[in-house]
Amino acid sequence: MRLLMWWSGRALSSAATLLGVSVLIFAAVRLMPGGFAETVLGPFATAEQKAELAARYGLDQPVFMQYGHWLGAVAGGDFGISMISRQPVGAELLARLPVTAELTVLAVAASVLLGVPLGVLTAVRARPTGGGGLGRLVSGLGVSVPEFVLGSLVVFVFSRYTLGLEVGSWIPLTQDPAANLATMILPAAVLSVFSISVTARTTRDAVMGVLVEPYVTAAVGRGESPWFIVRHHVLRNAATPVVTLVGTTTAYLLGGALIVEHVFNLPGVGSYLVQAVGRRDYAVVQAGVLLAAGVFIVMNVLIDLLVGAIDPRLGVMAGRRS
């Protein structure tokens, strides 16, 4: 019964969140300077030409009527037609989703495989006087450098010098997996720098918090080796904040993919949305933002379930709160 109530509360809150996002993005794209007619027809278009184009796409109707028609279509699984390509938006997003998904998966894998060991290592080797300075320095630099700056620098270096990795091209995974990986390594590395740094810092703080617990002190007194203590006593108890962060970071990486895909010219959802914003392609922007919000909601649900599996006490408390 409690689980059913939890799922019901989650479903209602998710629906309310998506509804709120739909209202905000629908209003935001129409408040951007330079409407669709001005972008398509140019600055010298006449008022009659603009009115004809607006009538063709239903942009001459009141905003609340436009929103109602769009929301009803989305509820039925129809995200509309792109004003630029005249193709269904859902099909366009679905065709580009594998690129963004692969980029995000590679970045998340790098965050976990590099960030967690780095955080554990700096925590174990830290001294009361403030050791682990190198790890903190690396994580601080990673958090401070924006993706577009790092991405532009990487593109410049690898375009100017032959270093064995290509930039500005993309090969489908189904066509040649090895060549595909070679084209995705640099974008995934740039995208993962921030998340690796944050994961390492969070892991370090979580591990250091567990290392001062009495049961760890007792294990040290029994003569157990440091890495045995870390494996059997520390990692599981320090996992909750790290798992929460990784799940939240995954949703953040989807947003970062917009910039990275645009910089590296990858045909993913991110670059598609950037182009749509520049062209004022309302249907594409609305569908893309709504898709990102849906992914974020799903990730939050998965985080709650996984944290509950790691620590049942948190799962019970989450059920009571709902």
Q: Within a 10 A sphere around the Cβ of 234, how many other Cβ atoms?
A: 25
| 3-class DSSP assignment, residue 88 | strand
Eight-class DSSP state of 233:
I
pTM of the model: 0.78
pLDDT at residue number 252: 78
* Chain position carrying tokens 């993309």: 170
- The tens-digit pLDDT sequence of the chain (322 residues) is 666 776 777 788 888 888 898 899 888 888 877 666 766 676 666 778 778 877 877 777 888 888 888 888 888 888 888 877 888 888 898 988 889 889 989 999 998 898 888 888 888 876 444 445 666 666 667 677 777 788 888 888 887 776 667 676 788 888 888 888 888 888 998 888 888 888 888 888 888 888 888 888 888 788 777 778 887 778 878 888 888 888 788 877 877 788 888 888 888 888 888 888 877 888 888 888 888 888 888 888 887 777 777 766 655 444 444 4
For 142, residues 6+ apart whose C-beta sits below 8 A from its C-beta are 193, 194, 196, 197, 198
CA distance 258 to 20: 22
pLDDT at residue number 139: 66
Q: Where are the domains of the chain?
A: 1-76, 89-310
pLDDT at residue number 311: 67
Diameter of the chain measured on Cα atoms: 86
Eight-class DSSP state of 76:
T
* Chain position carrying tokens 């290509």: 166
CA distance 290 to 80: 13
For 141, residues 6+ apart whose C-beta sits below 8 A from its C-beta are 197
Q: Is the dihedral of CA 57, 58, 60, 66 positive or negative?
A: negative
170: left (phi over 0), alpha (psi -120 to 50) or beta: beta
* Chain position carrying tokens 């993005």: 25
pLDDT at residue number 1: 63
CA distance 178 to 140: 33
Eight-class DSSP state of 115:
I
Cβ-in-10-Å burial (0-12, 13-18, 19+) of 147 comes to buried
CA distance 208 to 204: 6
pLDDT at residue number 316: 44
CATH 1.10.1060.10 given to domain 89-310: no
pLDDT at residue number 211: 82
